[in-house]
Structure 1
Amino acid sequence: MNTYIALLRGINVSGQKMIKMVDLKTMFENLGFVSVKTYIQSGNVVFKSEKEDVKQIGSLIKQGILEIFGYEVPVLVLTHEKLDSIYKENPFLDRIANGEIEEKKMYFTLLSNSPDTTMKKELETTTYGKEEFIITEEVVYFFAAIGYGKTKLNNNFFEKKLKCSATTRNLKTVIKLLELSNL
């Protein structure tokens, strides 16, 4: 059995696309997944499956959500190893460790596919005040200096600019998902 983390984008945000975690867990189990655990209300699910293709698993979950709850929801599925790699490759880790960056202002915008190369270069050559980010093929590591609630560099911003679907999680959530998926 392989362990996976499903990240659902845009559920239970500002009263939109409301899904109870108990119902989401049941849906995952009905899809044949086992050891299903949810974390907070924003669509984080850790589960096990014998399936190996993360794109196929994501499509299955997306279709299940549409059929059961009636919502079109982008779904990104990662292995524990992939999320761990993304976490460990965070270029801001040293600055967080020495207190230069507040942990609560560290975000990961996980990309569903490689970002548009031209737009990536354009973003990297523009400054956004104290806000800092580093774009890779899989994730935008983002230090929201003014706070995520105040920044214009949110998930929608990066999706539009990089021309790919994305979902954002804070550092605390990434660490918790690594803990839950390491069991």
Structure 2
Amino acid sequence: MKTYIALFRGINVGGKNRLPMKDLAALLDGLGLQNVKTYIQSGNVVFRGKPADTAQLSKRISAAIEASYGFAPWVRLLDTPTLDRAIRDNPYPEAQAAPNTLYVNFLAAVPPCPNLDDLEKLRGPGERFELKRDLCYLHAPEGIGRSKLAAGMERLLGVPMTSRNWNTVAKLGELASGD
């Protein structure tokens, strides 16, 4: 069995695409996945399953949600080494002291043509970002609510992504290593 981390995009946000974590855990259990653990309501799940192609398993999970709930969320599926790499490669370790200002953007793929120049132009005071393969780190000391950089990141990177703050990334790392 292998440990996986599923990051769901856009569920339980603003009253849309409601999916209680208890129901999500039961759905994943019904797909034959084991030791399913959810973390907060925004769609973070750690589970064990047979080694599989992560893209195919992600599509299977999304299709099962669509069949049961009427919407198909994008799911970024990671294995434990990928999450460990995201934690280990953090270019802003000093920002971990204020973990709600540090974000990891998990990208669908390595961006083929990221527009880093335009991203740089969107940076607000004190904001920093670094693209590392299929991860883009963002340190936004003033938060991401009004950040033009955060708002434009996906469009300018050119690939789908889902973001998690450092608290969530660290907690998922703990849950994944606890298996």
With normalisation by structure 2, the TM-score equals 0.92
Distance in structure 1 (CA, Å) of the matches to 2:87 and 2:121: 24
Would you say the 8 A contact 1:114–1:138 is kept in 2?
yes
Shift of 1:127: 4.1
Instruction: Tell me the equivalent position of 2:119.
Output: 123
Alpha-carbon contact 1:8-1:73 (below 8 Å) kept: yes
Alignment partner of 1:149: what SS? coil
Residue 96 of structure 1: aligned partner: 95
Q: Distance in 1 between matches of 2:155 and 2:123?
A: 17
Structure 1 regions of 5+ residues with no counterpart?
none
Task: Give me the whole-angstrom Cα distance separating, in 2, the residues matched to 1:74 and 1:118.
Answer: 21
**How far apart, CA to CA, are the structure 1 residues paired with 2:101 and 2:123?**
18
1:26 to 1:150, Cα distance in 2 relative to 1, 3 A:
same
Paired position in structure 1 for 2:50: 50
The answer to whether the Cα contact below 8 Å between 1:51 and 1:57 also exists between their aligned partners in 2 is no
Structure 2: distance between partners of 1:118 and 1:177: 28
SS in 2 for 1:14: coil
Provide, for residues 48-106 of structure 1, a one-character-per-residue CA deviation record: whole Å limited to 9, x for no partner: 0013211111111111111111112110000111101111101101x236x5xx22200
Which AA in structure 2 matches 1:12?
N
Q: Deviations over 1:81-138 (max 9, x none)?
A: 1101111101101x236x5xx2220001110111142513542476433211111221
Aligned partners of 1:28, 1:43: CA distance in 2, in Å? 12
CA shift, 1:157, in A, is: 2.2
Aligned pair 1:22/2:18, yes or no? no
What is the aligned partner in structure 2 of residue 37 from structure 1? 37
1:170 counterpart residue number: 165
Shift of 1:163: 1.2
Q: Is the 8 A contact 1:58 1:75 kept in 2?
A: yes
Q: Please list, as runs of the form range in 1=range in 2, the aligned pairs for 1:74-93 lying within 5 A after superposition.
A: 74-93=74-93
TM-score, normalised on structure 1? 0.90
Distance 1:118 1:48, change over 3 A: closer
Of 128, 141, 158, 1:145 maps to 141
Report the secondary structure of 1:117's partner residue: coil
In the TM superposition, residue 33 of structure 1 has moved relative to its aligned partner by 0.4
- Specify the SS of the correspondent of 2:36: strand
Which of 136, 139, 143 matches 2:132? 136
Unaligned runs of 5+ in 2: none
2:149 partner SS:
coil
Check whether the contact 1:9–1:75 (CA below 8 A) recurs between aligned residues: yes
Whether the aligned pair in 2 keeps the contact of 1:132 and 1:145 (CA below 8 Å) is no
Q: What amino acid is the match of 1:105?
A: T
Call closer, same or farther: CA 1:19–1:118 in 2, change over 3 Å. closer
> How many residues align structurally?
178
**Equivalent position of 1:2 in the other structure:** 2
C-alpha RMSD of the superposition: 1.7
